[in-house]
Amino acid sequence: MNSSVTSIKLVLLGEAAVGKSSIVLRFVSNDFSENKEPTIGAAFLTQRVNIGEQTVKFEIWDTAGQERFASLAPMYYRNAQAALVVYDITKPQSFIKARHWVKELHEQASKGIVIALVGNKLDMIENGGERKVAKEEAEKLAEEEGLLFFETSAKSGENVNEVFLGIGEKIPIKKPGEQANEQSGLRITDDQRVDLTNSVNGPVRSAGCNC
Amino acid sequence: MTTKEETRALHTPPMSNTKFDTTQSIKESYRPQSGVTQEDSNEGQGNGNSGSQSHCHNHVELSKEDIDREVNSIEQLPVELSKLIDLFINDLKQPKYVKPLTIIQLSSLFQNFYIKFDKASFQYLSTSHSNSNGTSNGNGGNNNNGNTDTNNSNNVNGNNNNLNGNGNGNGNSNDSQPAFLVARETLSSGLSGIFARSRSGSGSSLRRGRRSSSLFSVDSNNVQPLLSPEEIQKQLRTNELNNYKIDKFMSLCEREVFRRILEVGTSVASPSKEELVTRSNHQKKTFNVSSLFRNSPEFIEFDKVLYEKLHALSTMATQNKIDLVEFLRLPIGKNPDLESQEGFDGAKELLTNLVSHTIAPCEKIAVILKIHESMMFSQEMCNDDFLSMLVYYIIKVCPKNIFLNAQFIKLFRNKKKLVQQEMYALTNFEAALVFVEGLTFTDFIPSSQEKLTNSEKDILQTPVSNKISLPSPLKNSGAVNVDVTLHETHPEAMRSNSYDGFKYAFDTSLKNIFGKIRSYTPPVQPINLPRSSSTLSLEADKKISTSPTRAAVGSQPVTATPSSSTTTTATATATQLPEVWKKYKDRKFEDLKVSDMKEIFEIYQKLMG
């Protein structure tokens, strides 16, 4: 019997107005269950999802997309287990920015962070708008960098849940036994949550003995 | 304690039990409907984690009224727990550190205390009913020691081994005794139980969340308690309520600790006259966090320079030299009220509350959450909106000590609770400050730049972080780590710093005797203690606390100013110790030869003489 809840900190990155928070709002409001946990607007949300036997609780952290705030992003993606890098398929500039984010995440975020590249505003194409970022181009980037890739429409909800389910599945699932024995690891359960960066928190935690 | 609670203990064999199969254990609190399956899964095994993680899982339905009645009505800490705070404060006041503690070291003392307090709260709640059974306190404590995590069994600690023996002996007696009696005995606690538990708690403190598995030591392999679903349900309810109560205790604890610090001041025993004067002038109602940062002047400096910058920006905005609304791209289109006086007044009140009218970190973080709430004009606000508004209000209101307050929350809020939206709000807040800190005049449009005076340009020349570098917590915790490792190997020795210098040269059993004589000091652990100088305190210790030597060493305050003259004296004396005397300081007792020991004894005599 295994019904532990695993918390996943997921950070949203992408240029302003690409629809980061719309995607999340869609995901959260689509809902499988009532989401009664406290939120901070659409900037901080939580959502529980069942993946197989596991219950995954996404803690979704929005970052400011304005360029002037870009340098603050590391404060937000610190300790994140997953990242959603969002661009607008009708805005090539936003895809360039997405590339930057992917590169930065690989260089600076936690090792093993699961990154999903998401081209949003699919509905605009379907309504006759012009696609400016080829799907192939994004797929190529995803393949090179080992990312999950989705094209979504936050407006219609197309592919939105798949993004999160995909992330939940890709994050390594620990067997129950391992959880008891291992302190480290990307995946953290609620009772271990603060301890992602063992290098930082480890000493503090282990300082507990006060004989 | 109810019968159910006792029986639940039987579900929980120690983790160190080799027969315990962790894969079989349930990783979260029971779901209401899982009563039957749970019994199934218990065949021959226990569930290691029952109840321990249920902070986060609300499978047991508790009505608001229940929580109100049972939890929110708690306004004071029980005396037993309140005592722990007394001990902690007393211990902080003990002049036992040779070097003043940096803020980061101080923070780790607090965090450790929170962990201990959390555990003690749990024990208090699970055992408060069983005290009346009259079981011996000491025994209860011992038994608790028997089942600490496997980490503990690695300790080179005679004391611990003894206790383990005790615990096992008791556990094995299962065959001949009714199971619940054993459980009751094992659970018996009282304060000494809590203390004894804490003493050997080095291993278990690594695993904060898993309370129940490590707290009860009963070998239940042969016992099959039969619980009806109702009983389980009732048990779950109690657990859940207890978790709420622990949360409540923890926040009361945070409040109480800092309220007490406000009362007693941040300086250590025998304050100089100067300090007395400043303290009497000190407004009792307001708590200035900067007093905690005294020994980490770079934080205070950073705060000061950041304030200058904020002030300059604020003035520039008032004089219309810069257009903040435009500059920050405030979501003015979405929320026209944003610039209104009302919004500003609200933000001003909250920010003032944050810096001057709140004491405990938990209160301060609540204010930061409130600030976010007050800024919210729509449920769909993204962080561009929040962050830009936050920066806007911080500049406009320009509160003093705002950086120190943010750091204070980060360092002193119970880490276990500083998660999720609290963590997010704090990160946002910090990000806003980092943004301001990094602003230079070149960030503004040329027409704005032209209007700036030279002094304004000076202030906005470079990011604050270019001028002042703050100690990285990473590096510091590394330093702490070194001591912690020692700590775990020689827990008894490290309880007090006073005989630190000799700790390698004395037999562990001796240490135990020392340890037992000394009164228990809660979660404080020595940090960065230069070993050489501690011989001094050994000497002082022998002369009983009030002797002049003691006072000299004693005035090493937890938070003394670095320039304090006593510090220099102590360090000077310490460096005068001949190098030869120090050569044993890193040796292990087991490696010493008789001749070495003789030499150590001679050194000891010289020291005493």
CATH number of the domain bearing residue B445: 1.20.1050.80
Q: Band the pLDDT of B293: cuts 50, 70, 90.
A: confident
- The CA-atom distances, in angstroms, between B558 and each of A204, B98, B150, B407, B592 are 18, 9, 34, 19, 34
Q: Among the ranges B285-294, B378-387, B553-562, which has the highest mean pLDDT value?
A: B378-387
- Interface test mutation site (partner A, options B15, B384, B484, max chain A beta carbons within 10 A): B384
B423, part of any domain: yes
B411, part of any domain: yes
The residue-averaged pLDDT of B412-427 equals 90
In the predicted structure, residue B307 carries a pLDDT above the cut 90: yes
Min Cα distance A141 → chain B (Å) is 27
Q: Are both B257 and B405 inside the same structural domain?
A: no
Average pLDDT of every residue of chain B: 64
What's the CA gap between B499 and B482, in Å, rounded? Answer: 18
- Number of structural domains found in chain A: 1
A182, part of any domain: no
- Which residue from A177, A183, A207 is facing B484, i.e. has the nearest CB? A207
Q: Are both B333 and B461 inside the same structural domain?
A: yes
Q: Are both B379 and B456 inside the same structural domain?
A: yes
B131, part of any domain: no
Interchain CB distance below 8 Å, A202 and B481: yes
Residues A70-97: tens digit of each pLDDT:
999 999 999 999 999 999 999 999 999 9
pLDDT of res. A210: 43
Which residues share a beta bridge with A57? A7, A48
What amino acid occupies position A110?
S
By C-alpha distance, the chain B residue nearest A65 is B384
In the predicted structure, residue B391 carries a pLDDT above the cut 60: yes
B109, part of any domain: yes
A189, part of any domain: no
DSSP string, A94-109: HHHHHHHHHHHHHHHS
What's the CA gap between B225 and B374, in Å, rounded? Answer: 52
- Which residue from A76, A191, A206 is facing B53, i.e. has the nearest CB? A191
By C-alpha distance, the chain A residue nearest B49 is A180
Min Cα distance B598 → chain A (Å) is 29
The residue-averaged pLDDT of B171-183 equals 40
Q: Band the pLDDT of B260: cuts 50, 70, 90.
A: confident
Residue A13, domain CATH? 3.40.50.300
User: Which token pair is A181?
Assistant: 């024995």
pLDDT of res. B139: 38
- What percent of chain B stands above pLDDT 70? 52
Q: Are both B343 and B241 inside the same structural domain?
A: no
A175, part of any domain: no
By C-alpha distance, the chain A residue nearest B328 is A68
Q: Are both B235 and B313 inside the same structural domain?
A: no
Structural domain of B509: 290-470+501-517
Structural domain of A92: 5-170
Within 10 angstroms of residue B164's Cβ, the number of other Cβ atoms is 23
Statement: the pTM of the whole predicted model exceeds 0.80 = no
Interchain CB distance below 8 Å, A211 and B31: no
A186, part of any domain: no
* Least confident segment among A75-89, B442-456, B506-520: B506-520
Q: Tell me the backbone φ, ψ of residue B519, rounded to 5 degrees.
A: -70, 155
A-contacting residues of B 504-533, CB under 8 Å? 515, 521-525
A103, part of any domain: yes
In the predicted structure, residue B23 carries a pLDDT above the cut 60: no
Interchain CB distance below 8 Å, A43 and B383: yes
Q: Are both B237 and B356 inside the same structural domain?
A: no
In the predicted structure, residue B575 carries a pLDDT above the cut 80: no
- Number of structural domains found in chain B: 2
A197, part of any domain: no
Q: Are both B346 and B240 inside the same structural domain?
A: no
The residue-averaged pLDDT of B464-480 equals 64
Interchain CB distance below 8 Å, A189 and B385: no
A185, part of any domain: no
Q: B302, B320, B325, B275: which is closest to B103 by C-alpha? A: B302
Q: Which residues of B touch A23 (CB under 8 A)?
A: none
The residue-averaged pLDDT of A52-78 equals 91
ipTM over 0.85: no
A89, part of any domain: yes
Query: CB contacts < 8 Å between A and B, how many?
Result: 216
Residues B139-152: tens digit of each pLDDT:
333 333 333 333 33
Q: Are both B322 and B254 inside the same structural domain?
A: no
In the predicted structure, residue B209 carries a pLDDT above the cut 90: no
Residues B224-239: tens digit of each pLDDT:
667 788 888 888 888 8
Residues 6+ apart with CB under 8 A from B48: A180, B12, B15, B20, B22, B25, B26, B210, B212, B213
Interchain CB distance below 8 Å, B488 and A183: no
